[in-house]
């Protein structure tokens, strides 16, 4: 087709509107090496919602919990039926935090063995520096069994009354193995006349005082044991006085003993509460039970 000269001459070049970009001084001859200080949304390595330190902390806490379960020392803190639940929760914490940590650093090729070794340090401390169960030093900081039982008995018996419960009679001529809680129940809810003079045996740890102002006299021991319902924070202490101990100074505080003796009577403590007294036939040292709480 023949070009129209008029139309050709009418074509006016449009000005190019743009922004001049200065090439950096270190750019190549074609300007291909232009560098800039912003990214294009590639944040895969830092996309985890938790920082690395938090993930490591969760792993350490979970591993410490698993170490307590494996060593059996978790029994010092929570009731037995919670142990499997606690173990599963700790395992999930470790697995989830470790997975998040590995996913975050999957593009990092440097060795990180030192980090994992460092994670084992607090776990080793848990195993080596074993936490101890509640002992005599905590008696003054916890509710006592007689306080708890007295409140329950008074409430059950009405205003000013004390409820009585019929317990199975303890046969004469036999030694009955009871816990300190069972002795307390019979003392607070039962008939003292049916308990007095009975031969009993029980286990507990030696405490130099009751935690309520009374201090053991020569030839006397206080023997206590804690009960927990959920964890160590809700512990209740049960204590009896053991008289007729030849060398009471030979039993170190918090050492465990097995006592066989006769229910002898009731002593009044410094704060006015009553304490069951056992006249000892024998007091034998023993190893601390694997589960120290009732």
List pLDDT tens digits, range 33-50. 445 555 444 444 444 556
Which of 89-98, 110-119, 279-288 is predicted least confidently? 110-119
Give the pLDDT score at 19: 43
Give the pLDDT score at 159: 40
What is the spatial distance between Cα 292 and Cα 134, in angstroms, rounded to a whole number? 9
Q: How confident is the model at residue 272 (pLDDT cuts 50, 70, 90)?
A: low
Q: For residue 266, what are the β-bridge partners? A: 276
- Residue 288 in tokens: 């601390």
Give the pLDDT score at 44: 45
What is the spatial distance between Cα 117 and Cα 213, in angstroms, rounded to a whole number? 49
pLDDT at 263 over 90: yes
Give the pLDDT score at 102: 80
Mean pLDDT of the chain: 73
Assess contact for 59 and 101: CB atoms under 8 A. Answer: yes
Beta strand pairing call for 236-243 and 256-268: unpaired
CATH number corresponding to 136-286:
2.40.50.140
What is the spatial distance between Cα 72 and Cα 78, in angstroms, rounded to a whole number? 11
Give the pLDDT score at 140: 57
Stronger pLDDT, 56 or 142, i.e. the higher one: 56
Stronger pLDDT, 202 or 51, i.e. the higher one: 202
Beta strand pairing call for 256-268 and 220-227: unpaired
For the residues 190-199, what does the mean pLDDT come to? 90
pLDDT at 180 over 90: yes
What is the spatial distance between Cα 67 and Cα 75, in angstroms, rounded to a whole number? 12
Give the pLDDT score at 262: 94
CA atoms within 13 A on the CB side of 144: 21
Give the pLDDT score at 175: 94
What is the spatial distance between Cα 229 and Cα 72, in angstroms, rounded to a whole number? 18
Assess contact for 252 and 159: CB atoms under 8 A. Answer: no
pLDDT digits (tens, 9 = 90+) for 90-103: 888 888 888 887 87
The residues of the chain that CATH labels 2.40.50.140 are 136-286
């Amino acid at each position: 087709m023949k070009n129209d000269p008029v139309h050709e001459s009418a074509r006016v070049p449009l000005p190019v509107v743009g922004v001049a970009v200065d090439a950096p001084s270190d750019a190549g001859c074609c300007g291909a090496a232009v560098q800039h200080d912003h990214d294009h949304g590639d944040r895969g390595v830092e996309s985890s919602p938790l920082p690395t330190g938090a993930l490591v902390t969760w792993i350490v806490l979970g591993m410490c919990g698993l170490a307590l379960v494996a060593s059996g020392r978790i029994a010092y803190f929570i009731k037995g039926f919670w142990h499997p639940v606690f173990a599963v929760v700790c395992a999930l914490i470790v697995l989830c935090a470790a997975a998040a940590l590995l996913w975050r650093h999957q593009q990092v090729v440097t060795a990180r063995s030192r980090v994992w070794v460092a994670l084992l340090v607090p776990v080793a401390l848990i195993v080596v520096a074993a936490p101890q169960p509640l002992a005599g030093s905590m008696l003054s900081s916890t509710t006592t069994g007689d306080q708890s039982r007295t409140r329950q008995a008074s409430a059950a018996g009405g205003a000013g009354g004390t409820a009585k419960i019929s317990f199975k009679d303890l046969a004469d001529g036999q030694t009955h193995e009871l816990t300190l809680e069972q002795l307390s129940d019979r003392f607070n809810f039962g008939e003292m006349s049916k308990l007095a003079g009975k031969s009993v045996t029980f286990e507990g740890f030696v405490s130099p005082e009751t935690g309520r102002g009374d201090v053991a006299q020569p030839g006397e021991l206080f023997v206590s044991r804690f009960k927990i319902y959920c964890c160590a924070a809700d512990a209740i202490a049960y204590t009896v006085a053991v008289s007729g101990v030849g060398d009471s100074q030979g039993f170190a505080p918090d050492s465990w003993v097995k006592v066989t003796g006769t229910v002898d009577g009731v002593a009044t403590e410094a704060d006015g509460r009553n304490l069951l007294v056992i006249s000892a036939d024998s007091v034998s040292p023993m190893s601390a039970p694997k589960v120290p709480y009732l």
